[in-house]
Structure 1
Amino acid sequence: MQFAHIADTHLGYRQYGLTERENDFFEVFDQAIREIVQERPDFVIHSGDLFEYSRPPTRALLTVQKGILRLKEEKIPIYAIAGNHDVVMRKNALPPQILYKDFGLKLISPKKPFYLGGDVFIGGAPYASRYHSKQLIERLQNIEKNSLDYKKRILVLHQGIDRYMPYEYEIKIGDVPQSFNYCAFGHIHERVVDDFGEGKLAYPGSTEIWRSNELEGYKKNGKGFYLVDVSGDLPEIQNIDLELPREFIKEIIPYNRLEEEISRLKIHVAHLAKKPLLNLTVEGETSAGPIYMKL
């Protein structure tokens, strides 16, 4: 049995205020749906931050609707939780994922904490802040109790853990139940796969470069989603890489070589199909004025 594990698509994000970047996130999501259909998994898990905002723009809503309907046509169920970007911070508020209930999306929530996909238990909880970590831990304990009679058990969360986010975590690694075959996490934008308890704990990372500090991880590990096979004793995890729409160039340039380096970048950019993102740091000049003039 195989499933696709995806997270942190952040649809509707207009990075740097650029419409082009908003379109890039849509394009990558559409590509992910095509890849999932091609792989033909038994189901899909989205581990939160489907959208950038709890009140997404119309095009973001329509892009997701189109993707979910495509999966429905192929008889591929999708299970999802709300991430911190999806959550409206008020009591009893509903995340935008609820709009797709009639289109086939199965939302994992406090009212419906788990589903059964054949003989597979799929349970979890939406994002909880550090101030609500006690309630989250209690939920996890109840979910674990309900899962124990099933051979294959998947836990879905959108949380930072102290092992991976030592200064910004919501729960500790010891708070995560160890009886699950696969812990499908979201929130961290880098790809992570670790042995954990009776199986694996994994973050598939974001599908696009959400911040410039993700560039190094992207060059090393790519961006995309996981294809997970839980047929054996331990899950087998395959990276499915997505092709990002444009190049992201991040460089440190000495001020005394600025004009030469700009000329080099102009030549490089001229051969690209789309304008790249340039993130330049200029060193060796204390006054910003001359640097801005040359840039």
Structure 2
Amino acid sequence: MQFVHLADTHLGYRQYGLVERENDFFHVFNEAIDELIMERPDFVIHSGDLFEYSRPPTRALLTAQNGILRLKEEKIPIYAIAGNHDIVMRKNALPPQILYKDFGLKLISPKKPFYLENDVFIGGAPYTSKYHSKQLVERLQTIESKSKDYNKRILVLHQGIDRYIPYEYEIKIGDVPQSFNYCAFGHIHERVIDDFGEGKLAYPGSTEIWRSNEVEGYKKNGKGFYLVDIDGDMPEIEKIDLKLPREFIKETILFTKIREELSRIKQYVSNLNNKPLLMVTVEGGNFSRSEVYETLNHSLSHLCLAVRTNYKPTAVEDGKNLFENKNEALDIKKMIEHSLDDFKNEKVNRLATDLLKELSDGDFKMAETIVQNFYEDLYDH
């Protein structure tokens, strides 16, 4: 028996405010549907963040609907959970996936924590914030108990684990039950496949480049989904890669060689079929940031969908020894912890770090969710 495992499609995401990037996410989702239908799996699992927002734009809803209807026509069941981007932060609110119940999507939720697909147990839980991890662990123990009588058991979650993201996790690796044949995770956008307990733990990653820090992982491991065979004692996992519509280029150039570097980049991007996204970091030398910005945009903006610039600062060692030496990269986490030292409160420090990260990336919706979760936790106590 084979199934497809995908996650983090983020339909409706308009990266950098560009409608072209919103279309790219739709395009890749449709390509994923094409590819998985060609593979003819017995069923599909989507491990959360089907959408970018809990109230998705109409075109995102229609794109998901068309994909799910195509699966129904091909008699391929789909099971899904809500990720952090899918969840409406209001008591008893329903995630948008519920709209597709009559189209064949089976939503794993607290009210319906597991399903059976030809004697395969498929159980799990929607995203739970770090502030409610205790309730999630208790829920996982119940799900594990329910799965004991089945030979093939799949756990579906949308959570960060401390093993993979030490500063941003919601649960610890020791809290994940080890009795499942396959743990189908979402939330981390890099591909992960690990031996775990009696089977495998896997993140298929996002289907498109959602943040610029995913570029290196994409170049190394690609983007797409997994085709999983669970007939044997140990699941066999095949990576299915998707072709992204445009390149996401990251370059670091020396200011002293800016003309030569811009000529090289210009020659490369002018030969691409679709305009790329370009991130340029300029380092070395004394220069006016505004003048460098104008130079970059004048040379490349007509050839790129977007040109985003960064300037590598020279970190200065201060009297508090926040840095080991003047060349060490700025450690935002240390600075926040030092600034909030009087609070002596790990949760406040973590809140500040998380908020700075999301706001720096322009993810205001996620920042709002973090604040809501934080205050929900205060009220619960």
How big is the shift at 1:106? 0.2
1:147 corresponds in structure 2 to 147
Q: Which amino acid aligns with 2:16?
A: Y
2:333 corresponds in structure 1 to none
Give the distance between the partners of 1:59 and 1:258, measured in 2 at CA: 41
How big is the shift at 1:286? 4.2
1:288 corresponds in structure 2 to 289
Task: Report the number of matched residues.
Answer: 295
1:101-125 Cα shifts (integer Å, max 9, x gaps):
0000000000000000011000000
Q: How does 1:64-143 map to 2 (within 5 A)?
A: 64-143=64-143
Q: Which amino acid aligns with 1:226?
A: Y
Give the distance between the partners of 1:177 and 1:286, measured in 2 at CA: 55
Give the distance between the partners of 1:273 and 1:116, measured in 2 at CA: 45
On the 8 A contact 1:259/1:294 being kept in 2, the answer is no
On the 8 A contact 1:199/1:234 being kept in 2, the answer is yes
Which is higher, the Rg of structure 1 or of structure 2? 2
2:188 corresponds in structure 1 to 188
Task: Report SS of the residue matched to 1:25.
Answer: helix
Q: Which amino acid aligns with 1:268?
A: Y
How big is the shift at 1:209? 0.5
Q: How does 1:29-48 map to 2 (within 5 A)?
A: 29-48=29-48
How big is the shift at 1:69? 0.4
1:275 corresponds to 2:275: yes
What is the root-mean-square deviation in Å for CA atoms of aligned residues? 0.7
Give the distance between the partners of 1:253 and 1:95, measured in 2 at CA: 44
Q: Which amino acid aligns with 1:131?
A: Y
Give the distance between the partners of 1:114 and 1:38, measured in 2 at CA: 27
1:210 corresponds in structure 2 to 210
1:1-48 Cα shifts (integer Å, max 9, x gaps):
000000000010001111111100000000000000000000000000
Task: Report SS of the residue matched to 2:278.
Answer: strand
Give the distance between the partners of 1:22 and 1:293, measured in 2 at CA: 27
Question: TM-score, normalised on structure 2?
Answer: 0.77
Give the distance between the partners of 1:200 and 1:244, measured in 2 at CA: 27
1:172 corresponds in structure 2 to 172
Q: Which amino acid aligns with 2:72?
A: K
How big is the shift at 1:271? 1.3
1:232 corresponds to 2:198: no
Give the distance between the partners of 1:190 and 1:286, measured in 2 at CA: 36
Task: Report SS of the residue matched to 1:131.
Answer: helix
Give the distance between the partners of 1:293 and 1:274, measured in 2 at CA: 23
Give the distance between the partners of 1:286 and 1:119, measured in 2 at CA: 66
1:40-91 Cα shifts (integer Å, max 9, x gaps):
0000000000000000010000000000000001000000000000001111
Give the distance between the partners of 1:157 and 1:282, measured in 2 at CA: 40
Give the distance between the partners of 2:219 and 2:7, measured in 1 at CA: 19
Task: Report SS of the residue matched to 2:53.
Answer: coil
Unaligned 5+ runs, structure 2 = 297-381
1:21 corresponds to 2:21: yes
2:362 corresponds in structure 1 to none
How big is the shift at 1:289? 2.0
1:2 corresponds in structure 2 to 2
Task: Report SS of the residue matched to 1:210.
Answer: coil
